[in-house]
Amino acid sequence: MSDLVDLLLEGLPPQAVATDPDVTAAYRQDMAGFCASGVPAVVVHPTTVEQVQHVMRTATRLRVPVVPQGARTGLSGAANAVDGCIVLSLTRMDRILDLDPVNRTATVEPGVVNAALSRAAGEYGLSYPPDPSSWETCTIGGNIGTGSGGLCCVKYGVTAEYVLGLEVVLADGRLLHTGRRTAKGVAGYDLTRLFVGAEGTLGVVVRAVLALRPAPAPQLALAAEFPSAGAACDAVCAVMASGHTPSLMELMDRTTVRAVNAMARMGLPETTEALLLVAFDTPDPAADLAAVAELCRTAGATEVVPAEDAAESELLLQARRLALPALERLGTNMIDDVAVPRSQLAALLDGVAAIAERQGLTIGVCAHAGDGNSHPVVVFDAADPAAAARARESFDAIMALGLELGGTITGEHGVGLLKKEWLARELGPVGVELQRGIRSVFDPLGILNPGKVV
C-alpha cells in the first residue's frame, strides 16, 4: 500500500491523496442500500486530466482496482468501493470550460454539479434538461456514468441524449476522444454512447461535450385525483395517444401523498388513490391542460385542479420532488426503478399492490408515468430480519414483473451492485457474453470498478 501511495504522489500533489481511514471511510458507498462496500486503500482527488492519467497508469502498473466516484448520490451501489481500491473522486474537476449559444453546447469537466450547469446555461437562455432528483448535488460525470433521468424525460429525454462527445482516460492511462462537437456525426461505432450508463467500468470520463436546448417557457401544471392507479394510468395512455407531449407527467399513490403531507404539510388530497401531475411548457399551456383535464375526467378523475400560475405549478412539482425523502421517513427504503411500456404501467402498479399485500409491507409508488418508469419504494423495519428478507423478495418480485410486462429492471438508476444478478436475466446469455467481451476490450486487466454491471 505504501508503494501505491508513493507512486501516486509522483504525479499528484499531497492534498490530492487521502489515506486516513477516517477520511477514506466516507468514500465507501453511494446512496444505495443493501450493497456491499469495501475499504479503499486510498482516495485521490485529481484536478487535471494528466493526474487522472497518472492514477490509471499507476493502477495498471500495480494491478490495483479503481472505483471512479462523483457525488455518490447514485442508487445502485455503482460507486461503492472495493477492498484495497483507489477511489478516484472527480468532484474537484468541476469547471465549465465552454458554453456556446450558437452551437448549443457546453463543454464540462465531470465534477460539475448538474444544477450549476443548468444555472450557467440559463444565463445564455439555454437549458440542460436532465434533472435527476439529486440535481442540486449530483455531478455530470455521475449522470453520464449512470445514464440518469429525471422529471423532464417524458418530453426531453435522458442524459444519453445530451452527450455528444467525451474525453475518457482508459484503464491503462491513455486518453480517448469520442464523438463530436457537431449536431450530427456517424464516423465509426458510437463509443460515446457506450460510456453512458457504463458506471465507470469502461473508462474515466474527464471531459464531456453536452448538447443544450433553448430554455423552455415556465411550466403550467394540473393535479388530478383518481379512484385507482389503473384509472390514472388510463388517463396517461389517453393523453399520449391523443398526441400531447407534456413536459412532466408524474404519478403518486396514496402512501406517497400522505408521506409528503406528513413531511411538508403540502395539503395534497389524502383520500385519493392516485394523484397525477401533468405540466406543459408549450406556447398555450392552459389550452393543453384543459384538453388533458377532459381526458382525465373521461378516465375517471374525481377532481382536476389546474394550478393558477407558474408559482403554484412549481409547488406541485416540489411535492413530487419530496416523494422519495418523504417515504424515507417511514422506515428503511428499497427504491426500485422498473420501466415498462406505458400501456403496461397499470398492470405493473396493480402487481406492486398485490406484492405489498402478499408480503404485508408498505410499498409507496411514485412514477414518471409518462415514461412508464415507476419507483416502487419498499418500506420496512431494517431491525427485523424477516421484514428485510420480505422487502428484498418484494423488490425482486417487482423486477420480475417488470420484465414479464416487456419492461426493463432499470429505467434510470442503473445496475451497479443492486441489480447485477437481474441484469443477466434481462440481457440473456448472448447479451451478457457480448457485454463482457466489450468490457475486456476496454479493460483487459479488470481494474476498472470491478464487480459492477456485468
Per CB under 8 A, which of residues 140..199 are in contact with a second copy?
A: 146-147, 149, 153-154, 158, 160-161, 170, 174-178, 180-191, 193-194, 196-198
Taking the least distance from each CB to a second copy, the nearer of 246 and 331 is 246
Helix (H, G, I), strand (E, B) or coil at 171: coil
Question: Are the C-beta atoms of residues 249 and 242 closer than 8 Å to each other?
Answer: no
Near a second copy by CB under 8 A: residue from 53, 73, 410, 449: 410
Taking the least distance from each CB to a second copy, the nearer of 43 and 299 is 299
Looking up cell 418523504 gives 326
Taking the least distance from each CB to a second copy, the nearer of 268 and 423 is 423
31 to 90, contacts with a second copy by CB under 8 A? none
Residue-wise burial string across 414-442, b where 16 or more C-beta atoms lie within 10 A, e elsewhere: bbbbbbbebbeebbeeeeeeebeeebeeb
Size of the site for a second copy (CB under 8 A): 88
Near a second copy by CB under 8 A: residue from 11, 111, 331, 411: 411
What's the closest the beta carbon of residue 429 comes to a second copy, in angstroms? 9
Question: Are the C-beta atoms of residues 452 and 201 closer than 8 Å to each other?
Answer: yes
x-marked contacts with a second copy along 326-345 as a string, rule CB under 8 A = -------------xxxxx--
Rounded to whole angstroms, the Cα distance separating 116 from 95 reads 10
99 to 138, contacts with a second copy by CB under 8 A? 100-105, 125-126
What's the closest the beta carbon of residue 80 comes to a second copy, in angstroms? 17
Stretch that binds a second copy, among 233-241, 292-300, 355-363, 382-390 (CB under 8 A): 233-241
Helix (H, G, I), strand (E, B) or coil at 139: strand
Taking the least distance from each CB to a second copy, the nearer of 92 and 439 is 439
Taking the least distance from each CB to a second copy, the nearer of 19 and 343 is 343
Taking the least distance from each CB to a second copy, the nearer of 101 and 267 is 101
What's the closest the beta carbon of residue 367 comes to a second copy, in angstroms? 12
412 to 431, contacts with a second copy by CB under 8 A? 412-415, 419, 423, 426-428, 430-431
Looking up cell 406505458 gives 342
Near a second copy by CB under 8 A: residue from 284, 357, 384, 404: 284
What's the closest the beta carbon of residue 90 comes to a second copy, in angstroms? 19
Rounded to whole angstroms, the Cα distance separating 85 from 58 reads 12
Nine-digit cell at 417?
A: 451492485
**Residues composing the chain:** 454
Taking the least distance from each CB to a second copy, the nearer of 198 and 323 is 198
354 to 373, contacts with a second copy by CB under 8 A? 368, 370-373
Taking the least distance from each CB to a second copy, the nearer of 245 and 302 is 245
Residues 6+ apart with CB under 8 A from 444: 171
Looking up cell 467525451 gives 166
Nine-digit cell at 153?
A: 424525460
Rounded to whole angstroms, the Cα distance separating 57 from 51 reads 10
Taking the least distance from each CB to a second copy, the nearer of 214 and 360 is 214
What's the closest the beta carbon of residue 436 comes to a second copy, in angstroms? 9
Per CB under 8 A, does 241 bind a second copy?
yes
Near a second copy by CB under 8 A: residue from 364, 378, 407, 417: 407
> What separation in angstroms does the CA of 405 have from each of 314, 369, 373?
33, 15, 12
In the chain, what's the furthest Cα-to-Cα distance? 70
Question: Are the C-beta atoms of residues 109 and 207 closer than 8 Å to each other?
Answer: yes
242 to 261, contacts with a second copy by CB under 8 A? 243-245
What beta strand segments (E) does 287-422 contain? 303-306, 332-335, 338-339, 362-368, 373-380
How many of the other CB atoms lie within 10 Å of CB of 250?
Answer: 27
